[in-house]
């Protein structure tokens, strides 16, 4: 079982600054707190007023009388204002881990508006109390809107993993697994709900889950097949290496994206050549960034050399987004294992960067990766197994 944190694949960026604690209520002098909070509530009730950083920070860690005041104002806010606020809080929490909006987000799970509920579901974090898990399970089964049910099914995945790691009560863990399995198996359910349930259960080592992933991989619906590849990565089971390798060169962008993610989660060293090509030559920005992330997760000398070249390219082209993605991947790569592939002449990589000769890098890296396969053993594309004396996939 892979024990890495896998609830979010692409590391977030800090966007609102590191000095936010100077603005939160708990750090404001007592005599100023009520005045600032009253001003915050007034801004919330003004549809034209922007949500400034100060407003957002002050809403973190609400409790006691301030939480009571907020709850008194909340029902009177316009629907669009409630939607905007929850969406902003969720986005901020994803990029600022010290901020905690759970006392606002968790009650919003029961909001009358479906978009507010959906945004709130997406803001539920893995450290949420068990009662919130119970609420999500009910939402995933009973919410009248499939968009909300699908979001809840997806959010349950982080808790399936938590249960797999022994961090949930046994009875709750079993009911949680049963819930997501029932959602997937319900052929009358909306496709998006079923595929998100499959993604959630991919975190689970329960008997029969591999069969469900395989079944979904051969489904008629392409979105379900993409979710199967996602679940392959979450399973942390190298048995899926051949399928992931195949999908890295799929004609469908969503399949390439999910395969890149899965290759990183499986730490699939055999995928390094194809990930390098995606990181350098892929036109789709999201796929390219996911390939870069995967290179960082796999790590080793080969991945680091590719990332170094990409960092140079980002510098030459003043591409800040590429630079950020590469820097984060380099940080992850420094924690990963050493390469077992022999080194190669990176003039080939320079040729790809300079002349867009995609096949040069692929052929060089594939030769090296094929040499590794002779030692490690993988099932080839025809389904035959090549095993060493210790490993069987």
Is the pLDDT assigned to residue 13 strictly greater than 90?
Answer: no
Cα–Cα distance between 325 and 335 in angstroms, integer?
A: 16
pLDDT of amino acid 30: 67
Is the pLDDT assigned to residue 365 strictly greater than 90?
Answer: no
In a domain? residue 354? yes
Helix (H, G, I), strand (E, B) or coil at 71: helix
Tell me how many helices (H) and strands (E) the chain has: 21, 0
| pLDDT tens digits along 296-348 | 999 988 888 889 989 998 888 898 888 999 999 998 887 765 544 443 444 44
Cα–Cα distance between 27 and 175 in angstroms, integer?
A: 41
Spatial contact of 309 and 29, defined as CB atoms under 8 Å apart:
no
User: Do 392 and 335 have their domain in common?
Assistant: yes
Helix (H, G, I), strand (E, B) or coil at 151: helix
From 213, 235, 257, give the residue that closes a domain: 235
User: In the predicted model, what is the mean pLDDT of residues 156-164?
Assistant: 96
In a domain? residue 1? no
In a domain? residue 138? yes
130-139, 178-187, 220-229, 377-386: the lowest-pLDDT one: 377-386
- Here the CATH number for the domain that contains residue 278 is 1.25.10
User: Do 162 and 248 have their domain in common?
Assistant: no
Residues in the chain, how many?
Answer: 393
E-strand ranges in the chain read none
Q: For the chain, give the mean pLDDT.
A: 84
The model's pTM: 0.79
In a domain? residue 380? yes
Q: What is the tally of structural domains in the chain?
A: 3
Q: Quote the domain boundaries for residue 285.
A: 243-393
From 75, 104, 124, give the residue that closes a domain: 124
Is the pLDDT assigned to residue 16 strictly greater than 80?
Answer: no
User: Do 156 and 181 have their domain in common?
Assistant: yes
């Amino acid at each position: 079982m892979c024990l890495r944190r896998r609830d979010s694949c692409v590391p977030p960026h800090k966007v609102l600054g590191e000095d936010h604690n100077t603005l939160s209520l708990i750090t404001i002098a007592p005599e100023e707190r009520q005045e600032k909070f009253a001003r915050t509530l007034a801004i919330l009730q003004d549809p034209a007023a922007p949500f400034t950083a100060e407003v957002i920070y002050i809403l973190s860690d609400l409790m006691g009388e301030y939480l009571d005041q907020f709850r008194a104002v909340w029902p009177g806010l316009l629907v669009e204002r409630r939607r905007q606020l929850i969406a902003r809080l969720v986005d901020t929490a994803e990029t600022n881990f010290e901020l905690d909006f759970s006392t606002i987000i968790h009650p919003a799970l029961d909001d009358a508006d479906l978009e507010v509920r959906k945004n709130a579901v997406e803001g539920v974090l893995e450290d949420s109390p068990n009662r919130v898990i119970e609420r999500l399970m009910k939402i995933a089964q009973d919410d009248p809107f499939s968009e909300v049910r699908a979001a809840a099914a997806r959010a349950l995945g982080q808790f399936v993993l938590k249960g797999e790691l022994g961090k949930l009560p046994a009875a709750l863990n079993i009911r949680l697994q049963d819930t997501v399995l029932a959602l997937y198996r319900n052929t009358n359910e909306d496709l998006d709900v079923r595929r998100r349930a499959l993604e959630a259960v991919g975190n689970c080592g329960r008997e029969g889950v591999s069969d469900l992933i395989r079944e979904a991989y051969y489904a008629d619906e392409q979105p379900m097949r993409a979710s199967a590849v996602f679940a392959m990565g979450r399973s942390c089971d190298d048995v899926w290496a051949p399928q992931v390798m195949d999908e890295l060169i799929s004609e469908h962008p969503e399949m390439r994206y999910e395969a890149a993610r899965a290759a990183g989660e499986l730490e699939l060293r055999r995928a390094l050549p194809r990930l390098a090509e995606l990181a350098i030559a892929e036109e789709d920005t999201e796929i390219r960034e996911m390939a870069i992330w995967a290179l960082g997760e796999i790590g080793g000398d080969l991945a680091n050399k590719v990332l170094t070249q990409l960092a140079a390219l980002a510098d030459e082209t003043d591409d800040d987004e590429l630079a950020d993605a590469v820097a984060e991947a380099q940080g992850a790569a420094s924690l990963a294992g050493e390469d077992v592939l022999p080194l190669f002449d990176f003039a080939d990589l320079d040729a790809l960067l300079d002349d867009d000769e995609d096949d040069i890098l692929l052929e060089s890296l594939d030769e090296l990766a094929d040499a590794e396969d002779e030692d490690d053993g993988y099932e080839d594309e025809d389904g035959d197994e090549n095993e060493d004396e210790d490993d069987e996939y």
